[in-house]
Structure 1
Amino acid sequence: MLEQINESIHLIDLNFLGHSQAIAAYLLRGEQEAALVEVGPASTVNTLLHALEQAGVSPSQLRHLLVTHIHLDHAGALGVLMQRLPEAVCYVHPIGAPHLADPSRLIASASRLYGELMDTLWGPVLPVPSERIRVVRDGERIEVAGRTLIALDTPGHARHHHAYLDEASGLLFAGDIAGVRMPHTTYVRPPTPPPELDLEAWQASLAKLRALPIRQLALTHFGVFADVTRHLDELEHRLLAWGEFTRQLVEQGLSDEQIITALQEYGNAEMQALGVEPTSYDLGAGYQLIALGYARYWRKVLITDKPNRFGNGC
């Protein structure tokens, strides 16, 4: 599915596992070339290429592939796409770049979380030729498809995370730093998978975004939203509130499974009270990974006796 955002930017619904509104890629079209922000997993490559064909974009025209971070739902298709797109180069955070050239550690880490579902969920994760990887630094201006995108180092969800601000339109391609939200809702869920969740860094990233002239948020999970300030405020509130909730469970010595169950009950009750369908969010940010991310974070904090400097009791 193609959805026009403005005169030269389209949202592509990658129809992940046959579900709409789970993972988006964003197509930027210029006069001579095209670019993508996010490419999704390798399991959705055919859907992506079909959408590009529908948009009238040939493989030789697609020359720039920007990913907000290297998690497989955002960047897993890069290796496969490099075999299909002869002119393309990819743009990635410096911390993520080595794991695109050699994805063995990335695959091993994901396999610990997904086990036998790895291939079904993500498809083949292939290395990206190093000569086709461009490392992007914080604040760098990238000229692609007739637009200028500003790279913004935004850790918290992952250390290797960039958001990209379209300078002309004020549209922010936010990756996961701005959370998960479904169309026609206001509810924002924090995606906090292990192993790199950092609440303090996430708060700093949100403060950085608030200082910028952002007019719309383009979320990978899922869609474009204009209520920027309200959205970011709600995300920060829930990020910290769920952090406090899970911290107490960790301190009580609950197991991972108990924490997952408790957070799911807590989150579902919250969503149902607001009239939001909980399962619509699960493909973008499921409770299992959210809970495991918080649990790992708090156990590390408690072991190292890191000072507690968060709001809302976190």
Structure 2
Amino acid sequence: MTAPDAAVRTLDLHFQGVPGVIAASVFETGDGLAVVDVGPGSTLPELESGLASLGASLADVRHVFLTHIHLDHAGATGTILDRVPGARAYVHERGAAHLSRPGRLLASAAQIYGGEMDRLWGEMRPVEPGRLTVLAGGETLRVGRLEVRPLYTPGHAVHHLAYHAGDDLFVGDVGGIRLSERQTPRAPTPPPDIDLPAWRESVAALRGLGARTLHLAHFGASPDSADHWDGLLASLDVDAARVREGLERGQDAEELTGAFTRALLDELRGQDPELPGRYEFACPPWMSVQGLVRYWTRAAARGRATGDGG
């Protein structure tokens, strides 16, 4: 595949004023700039500032590649496309409706965040369907002078894509959260789509591509190494087991969330004392607990239905 003409740049979106939590990746295609995961509407000014630091502006953006339609990754998309008539967005076919008709997504988020929605996430405008390139995964896209290959990578979200361009692999959330070099990558597991076997299959597909650099939305560039993927899978197993064991002990939601949060933050603190505070902005532990509780509850129901016993 053709590599990007210039190095991929990581733009820090300073979510809620905190550095190193949410990133957008930017590179030149020969047909304008591409941005992978533009972030929420609340951080659009920071995206504009980051582009200005590169001598560019939103008007130079032609391609918005979205790994999935969660607010911290895709919320600003509609506003950007409204302001840049020549730009278009790329999205998995199972996520396209969330962009063109975001009402259901926003209503669901409002049940969680209530009056904090605007402060945290800002505006999410709908995208005209004609401005979307809808993908299944496995295509080869010709974007300017580049070849970009979207890859279907469920596990974190049922509509998750990664994008492979030469030595660069943009992994969204399926590649985990890694906020410093000393941190073991950690899987964000919010509801509703967590699927542990699918996540492991996605990792197996991605680690075999031979890329040199992983670009993480949380946060920045990391070498594509066995250590990264092995650490991610190990931490996913640990977190999933903690929640399963808590459920088996009959812990209620408060007890389960408290125990999980303490264990997770203690581990992060041991790797880097600054990690716990930043990690809670990138992925609140209570959300990871909710996603894993939903996964194990559904798995148990399937087991009862099939006679497997969970």
Query: Which TM-score band applies after superposition, normalised by the shorter structure?
Result: over 0.9
Q: Which residue of 2 aligns with 1:22?
A: 21
- Listed one character per residue, the Cα deviations across residues 67-93 of structure 1 (whole Å, up to 9, x for unaligned) are 100000000001111121121100000
Q: Is the 8 A contact 1:182 1:222 kept in 2?
A: yes
Hey, what's the Cα distance between the residues in 2 that align with 1:95 and 1:256?
A: 30
In structure 2, stretches of 5+ residues that fail to align are: none
Residue in structure 2 matched with residue 148 of structure 1 by the alignment: 147
CA distance in 2, matches of 1:308, 1:113: 35
Which residue pairs with 1:109 in the alignment?
Answer: 108
Aligned length: 304
Q: Secondary structure at the match of 2:26?
A: strand
What's the RMSD between the two structures over aligned residues? 2.1
Identity of aligned residues (%): 38
Q: Which residue of 2 aligns with 1:295?
A: 293
Deviations 1:6-27 (A, max 9, x none): 8342111111111111111111
Aligned to 1:251: 248
For residues 80 and 292 of structure 1, the distance between their equivalents in structure 2, rounded to whole angstroms, comes to 30
1:271 equivalent in structure 2? 268
SS at match of 2:283: coil
As a proportion of its length, which structure holds more helix? 2
Give me the whole-angstrom Cα distance separating, in 1, the residues matched to 2:271 and 2:7. 35
Contact in 1 for aligned 2:31/2:143 (Cα 8 Å)? no
Q: Does 1:138 align with 2:153?
A: no
For the pair 1:284 / 2:272, whether they are aligned, the reply is: no
How does 1:153-168 map onto structure 2 within 5 Å? 153-167=152-166
State the TM-score, normalizing by the size of structure 1: 0.91
**Structure 1 residues 90 and 260, CA gap change in structure 2 (3 angstroms):** same
What residue is the counterpart of 1:174 in the other structure?
171
Deviates more, 1:91-100 or 1:249-258: 249-258
TM-score if structure 2 supplies the norm length?
0.92
Structure 1 residues 117 and 29, CA, compared in 2 at 3 Å: closer, same or farther?
same
Q: Which residue of 1 aligns with 2:65?
A: 66
Query: Structure 1: any 5+ residue segments left out of the alignment?
Result: none
Q: CA shift at 1:184, angstroms?
A: 3.1
Contact residue 48 and residue 57 of structure 2 kept, 8 A: no
- Is the alpha carbon distance of 1:308 and 1:95 closer, same or farther for their aligned partners in structure 2, counting shifts above 3 Å? farther
In the superposition, relative to structure 1, how do residues 95 and 227 fare at CA in structure 2: closer, same or farther (>3 Å)?
A: closer
Counterparts of 1:303 and 1:251, CA distance in 2: 14
Partner residue of 2:191? 194
Question: Displacement of 1:273 after TM fit?
Answer: 3.4
- In structure 2, what is the equivalent of residue 120 of structure 1? 119
> Judging changes above 3 Å, is the alpha-carbon distance between structure 1 residues 298 and 60 closer, same or farther for their aligned structure 2 residues?
same
The range that moved more, 266-275 or 293-302, is 266-275
Change (3 A) 1:214 1:246: same
The answer to whether the 8 A contact 1:42-1:80 is kept is yes
Letter in 2 for 1:186: Q
Q: Deviations over 1:117-163 (max 9, x none)?
A: 11111101111111101101211122225322111100000001001
By how many angstroms is 1:279 displaced?
1.9
